[in-house]
Amino acid sequence: MRLFQISTLTPTEIFNDGFSVGNKILNTQTNTLLFNFFSATFPLFFLIHSLGYKFTDILNDKLVVAEILTTLICTVGVILTVPITSFLVYHKANKVKLKKTDN
């Protein structure tokens, strides 16, 4: 039993279509990351504001830096997911196409 059927699309068309769909998913994931960042840091910023921290104190706070780094690392991961997945599908489609033409 096959997990996928061989389409009539060329590997380049598969890559382009995958990249297009991936960009739409990327928009949704970006919103999710932003909402997660703001919901996680809102209480922290409220506490910092009520304690009267200065800007330099905020930059030196471990919790703030940890949240910012977590958000940046997750953003890089989400951004790299689309091209890597599109390339892997393109590579697999090329292998299937070459195997099909050899037989």
Per-residue model confidence as pLDDT tens digits over 39-67: 877 888 888 888 888 888 877 888 888 88
1 CB-side CA count, 13 A = 1
In terms of pLDDT, which residue wins out, 4 or 86?
86
Q: Is the pLDDT of residue 2 over 60?
A: no
CA distance 71 to 56: 20
Which of 82, 81, 84, 76 has its CA nearest to residue 20?
82
pLDDT value of residue 1? 43
88, pLDDT greater than 70: yes
Global pTM reads 0.61
Burial (CB count <10 Å: 0-12, 13-18, 19+), residue 73: exposed
pLDDT of 58: 78
Q: Is the model's pLDDT at 5 over the cut of 70?
A: no
Q: Is the pLDDT of residue 26 over 60?
A: yes
Q: In the block, which residue shows the tokens 């997990």?
A: 3
Q: Which residues, other chains included, contact 36 with Cβ-Cβ below 8 Å and sequence gap of 6+?
A: 71
C-beta of residue 11 within 8 angstroms of C-beta of residue 93: yes
